[in-house]
Structure 1
């Protein structure tokens, strides 16, 4: 018999013959719930017209149904890919994504993040590099009792709080590939100072040359900021050298595309006069001509896993699934690399 007044979650549980916790999981759209149980509970909900009160539930749980994404990243495509991965994990749940860009160079960065977390009453938050690389950000989340995950290019935290790639290892492999083709004068367009990803990618680059017994002149390193414009300036500097490099590794695809542009406007052909390798495997790498050899960075998979790590507790500990924390990147071979031409 249904209680008088509006139907309650207790009515649903009693009529469906399940626990209140199971009804809650159906309402929260846990992806791990048994299909027949879900169908039975949903049928009762439809029959008695039960409507969950989201505001009341948020008050009871002391948080909103919000997952935060905090970043200070000049690469808009990277941020978009992260959002795509997180939204894929959150599909068919009641959670929404709220994005907050910040200035990591500001003296009030931590206060700004604290205000955002407290004002929005987030259920959990994901931090992108380089903000994620600041240990004080993790300390703040622990202090506030907010679930967090940090994305990085190397191990930053425990598995529960981290998704990371193997940037140094895969760049080492990419440069070894150039060396195997006969390249010895290889330029580097490095990423911005203060980014762990830039350090890890440069580390892999330098290690590959050191293992081959090749001394890297400082003149073959040009700094960029993960943008097309800075990549273009860096590529021009490297291609002005005499002798110039026969190959360039650019620390992301935007700067690799800029390197191709710089070479073409000098009348050079790729890969005959210059081999180029990028990093990210964004759409630009396969859309330009020639298609770019690049490192596939599994950013969407990393973001999906990060969101699932944040949501696992909400679906109950006994429903927990071990999400991976380390995501190997791989070299994608396309048409922008060839052996150096004999002059």
Structure 2
């Protein structure tokens, strides 16, 4: 096995040593290290060979100083659904796993009057390359403007387009919820209940709009007592189930704005001796692990949140991830959700 070379002084090799051995400039070595696409393959291979021969390890502090940024990307969120944050985070990690980037996760309080100042201090202290904003804080235009003013790249994630394609990754919640409700109507359901997401969330509003669109197309409407507010938590689903399923004539189907609340409604139905789906059909949203961990398995909308994490990272820092991560000019920022039919949906019981 060949021994590794060292720098001229016998100390750890430097970027200057790599440049000298490869016969290129220090700037070219830096470009190779930072995966610039403006380098020929021949030059890239020469520099990589020199790095391997010398055993050179780039200094992250020096690189951060040169870029005036740390090699960090930040994920800012104020979301009550931990699974959503975890799934998105996993998508980001999938995207950056072969890079020198690291992910920094920061919860914030959107209800605090000091949120913007807290985020400002955080961004100025950590100096990330960019920030990904999860809903509902992604819907805050002032927060996006703050990132812009600090020179921090940003991507807003949402259930509808919130910005131009350079700053946005979204899903199509309204359209896919309408599709799911049309399925219930096609099966013969006419009394359909609805459990809403939290106030102030664009996702909750988009899903509610899709629900009403499907009803209106069929000449139906939502009865006041078939509606319940929610907050994306299991307990809210239990409360909604107790309210709606205690009616003398409850709905034959309920659409819940996420899987956790759908599980809560299903638990109440079981407790009341109602057969699912024989007497009550239930649909959720997310396709979280909960959907297949309950019985009967839950029909739901698969929200591509992990894929949205990958796309957000590619949108934010493609230049640090290599040519394959670069988005095509015509690549849509919208990642479509899909309806998945499982065991919790059937025709209504005969009257």
- Structure 2 partner of 1:60: 66
- Structure 1 partner of 2:333: 325
- Structure 1 partner of 2:280: 274
1:63-82 correspondence to structure 2 within 5 Å? 63-82=69-88
Which of residues 131, 136, 143 is equivalent to 1:137? 143
- Structure 2 partner of 1:191: 197
- Structure 2 partner of 1:257: 263
Contact preservation (8 Å) 2:35, 2:320: no
SS in 2 for 1:201: helix
- Structure 1 partner of 2:103: 97
Deviation of the 1:40 alpha carbon: 4.6
Q: Does 1:84 align with 2:90?
A: yes
Deviation of the 1:72 alpha carbon: 0.5
Q: 1:20 to 1:249 in 2, by over 3 A?
A: farther
Contact preservation (8 Å) 2:35, 2:319: no
Q: Deviations over 1:127-175 (max 9, x none)?
A: 0000000111111011111000010000100101110000000000000
Deviation of the 1:307 alpha carbon: 0.9
SS in 2 for 1:326: coil
Contact preservation (8 Å) 2:284, 2:300: yes
Which of residues 170, 176, 182 is equivalent to 2:182? 176
Q: For residues 15 and 158 of structure 1, what CA distance do their matches in structure 2 show?
A: 45
Structure 2 residues without counterparts, runs of 5 or longer: none
Q: For residues 222 and 28 of structure 1, what CA distance do their matches in structure 2 show?
A: 52
- Structure 2 partner of 1:4: 8
Q: 1:298 to 1:254 in 2, by over 3 A?
A: same
Contact preservation (8 Å) 1:29, 1:94: no
More deviation, 209-218/13-22: 13-22
1:284-323 correspondence to structure 2 within 5 Å? 284-314=290-320, 320-322=326-328
Which of residues 210, 215, 222 is equivalent to 1:204? 210
CA RMSD of aligned residues (A): 2.5
Contact preservation (8 Å) 1:290, 1:335: yes
Q: 1:338 to 1:53 in 2, by over 3 A?
A: same
Structure 1 residues without counterparts, runs of 5 or longer: none
Q: 1:92 to 1:340 in 2, by over 3 A?
A: same
Q: For residues 256 and 34 of structure 2, what CA distance do their matches in structure 1 show?
A: 44
Contact preservation (8 Å) 1:163, 1:326: yes
SS in 2 for 1:188: strand
- Structure 2 partner of 1:247: 253
Which of residues 107, 113, 119 is equivalent to 1:107? 113
Aligned residues: 343
Q: Does 1:339 align with 2:347?
A: yes
Q: For residues 338 and 126 of structure 2, what CA distance do their matches in structure 1 show?
A: 38
- Structure 2 partner of 1:157: 163
Deviation of the 1:15 alpha carbon: 3.2
Instruction: State the TM-score, normalizing by the size of structure 1.
Output: 0.93
